[in-house]
Amino acid sequence: MTRHRLLVIAATWCLVLAGGGPTSAATAGSTIRVPQDYPTVEDAIRAASRGDTILLAAGTYDGEITVPQGKPDLTIRGTDRNTVVFDGAGVRNNAIEVEADGVTLENLSAHDYLANGFYWEEVSGFAGRGLTVWNVGLYGVYAIQSRGGTIEQSYVSGAADAAFYIGECFPCDTVVRGVTAKLSAVGYSGTNAGGNLRIEDSTFEDNGVGILPNSYDVGLQAPPQRAATFRHNVVRGSGSVPTPRATPLAGFTGVGIGVIGGIENVIEDNEITGSARYGIAVTPAIDREATWTPAANRIENNRVSGSGLADLALARGSGPGNCFVGNTAGTTDPPDLAADCSATGSGSAAVADAIALPPPQMLAGLPSAPPFGSMPAPGELSQPAPDEAVPGGPPLAVAAAVVLLLGLGGLFVLFRFRRKRDQPIA
């Protein structure tokens, strides 16, 4: 094989590895700017092709955006999460709803929607990064019946249902990390969600309930909730301040981390302080005529303090294998909870009387809740570290490939020059 041929092959592989060769040209995508290229987000979505990035300039947007199934693998990104703002004005329902696979939402804010901020429904592959949501009537950032996702570096406050929600999926194959939830009815909720699902390295502060995996039959993924991991989180002040409330699960207010009818979950290395009732509680889920019994949950190496009733709690009627191991806690109910794994039917009657009840029944005794629109807006938040270069400029891999190609071109010219110089003169 000639040296010239080797150089051509090497150059081709450089382009392919950089994402610029024939195998990736269809997915490399271009950048569509709003309002420079198209006046509205809806227009940009209609014009976009797979792999494109829609870049939103600073400004206020109405929302009620849908990314339909026929528009997969798009990225909708704001230039700055603090200045690209979707405003529901207390009359619109949602900021952005995604129905297409592989869609990323990044560096966007939303507030004062009657329903939700940003969400994905029945998709495969999704990502949310650098999202800010405050004061919404239901969920801040959530995915339902979706899998293969990442939610990170995002902030939600004043959600009347859950700040963050991953629900009705198994396996979910999803991670929620580096997020902050405040002043919401529930910080994280996950109904019937599990299977390679991790909630980690996040902060849940001054919510009604901090973290609440739960088992209820809502007609989608069948209960029980199972096989999720909750680790390295900080949960503070659950139930300590009034929050908006538009979910029956707010009946568990005052619980830092609750496993409600779940099985095979891991709760490890979390710090839970100042919960109004229970720091970590495991209890059956009473769902109308059905009961979902928690079993084989492992609660390990957590640091729990300052809870109003008990730092660690297991309700009577729980199943076997709920292990409380290596935790640091001041109070437990039952008193010997920290000694070993539970046996069938063990647990506290007092805990069961408090939270092993249908959620609507627990709501009955709660004081009135403030409206979601009355919660304070967050201050300015930092931008997440980008995974790639600024949209519109060449990615790092492409730039490296250009440098390498220039070097190969120089070697080729030098090789041709040396061949001519070394040839005998006729």
**pLDDT tens-place string over residues 256-268:** 999 999 999 999 9
Q: Give the pLDDT of residue 322.
A: 95
∠ CA 354-360-365, rounded to 5°: 60
Position 233 scores a pLDDT of: 99
- Torsional sign, CA 173, 250, 183, 89: positive
Binning pLDDT at 50, 70 and 90, where does residue 26 land?
very low
Asked if 87 contacts 60 with a C-beta cutoff of 8 angstroms, the reply is yes
List, in order, residues 6 or more apart from 95 with CB less than 8 Å away. Answer: 63, 64, 65, 86, 88, 108, 110, 113, 116, 117, 118, 133
With a CB cutoff of 8 Å and minimum separation 6, the contacts of 323 are 297, 298, 299, 300, 340, 341, 342
pLDDT class of 361 with cuts at 50, 70, 90: very high
Instruction: Please report the pLDDT score of residue 384 as a whole number.
Output: 80
- Tell me the one-letter amino acid at 220: L
What count of other Cβ atoms lies within 10 Å of the Cβ of residue 335? 10
Q: What is the pTM of this model?
A: 0.85
Give yes or no for a contact between 66 and 40, defined as CB atoms under 8 angstroms apart. no
Q: How confident is the model at residue 96 (pLDDT cuts 50, 70, 90)?
A: very high
Average pLDDT, the chain: 87
- pLDDT at site 287: 87
Q: Is 308 exposed, middle or buried (0-12, 13-18, 19+ CB in 10 A)?
A: middle
Both structure tokens of 135: 């004061």
**What DSSP designation does 367 have?**
P
pLDDT at 124: 98
Mean pLDDT of the 199-212 span: 98
Three-class SS state of 125: strand
- From 62-66, 68-72, 180-184, 394-398, the region with the lowest mean pLDDT: 394-398
Residue corresponding to tokens 């051509």: 8
pLDDT digits (tens, 9 = 90+) for 46-58: 999 999 999 999 9
| 167 vs 195: CA distance, rounded Å | 11
316: which 2 tokens? 């009577």
Question: Cα–Cα distance between 311 and 251 in angstroms, integer?
Answer: 18
The secondary structure element, H or E, covering residue 250 is none
pLDDT tens figures, 271-295: 999 999 999 999 999 987 899 999 9
Higher pLDDT, 390 or 85: 85
Q: How many CB atoms lie within 10 A of CB 172?
A: 27
Q: CA 350, CA 345: separation in Å to the nearest integer?
A: 14
To the nearest 5 percent, what fractions of the chain are helix, strand and coil? Answer: 20, 40, 45
pLDDT in tens, 150-196: 999 999 999 999 999 999 999 999 999 999 999 999 999 999 999 99
**Opening angle at CA 281, ends 160 and 342, nearest 5:** 155
Q: What is the distance between the alpha carbons of residues 26 and 19, in angstroms, rounded to a whole number?
A: 10
> CA-to-CA distance for 92 and 309, rounded, in angstroms?
41
Segment (H or E) for 396: helix 396-422
Q: Would you say 185 and 210 are in contact if contact means Cβ atoms under 8 Å apart?
A: no
Please say if the pLDDT value at position 225 is more than 80: yes
Q: Which residue has the higher pLDDT, 10 or 184?
A: 184
pLDDT tens for residues 377-407? Answer: 999 998 886 554 333 333 434 334 433 444 4
Q: How confident is the model at residue 33 (pLDDT cuts 50, 70, 90)?
A: very high
Please report the pLDDT score of residue 336 as a whole number.
84
Spatial CB neighbours of 100, under 8 Å, sequence gap ≥ 6: 67, 68, 69, 70, 71, 72, 73, 74, 123
Which residue in 174, 105, 110, 117 sits closest to 141, CA to CA? 117
Tell whether omega for the bond before 358 is within 30 degrees of 0, i.e. cis: no
Give the whole-angstrom CA distance, residue 334 versus residue 7.
Answer: 73
Query: 424 CB contacts (<8 Å, ≥6 apart)?
Result: none
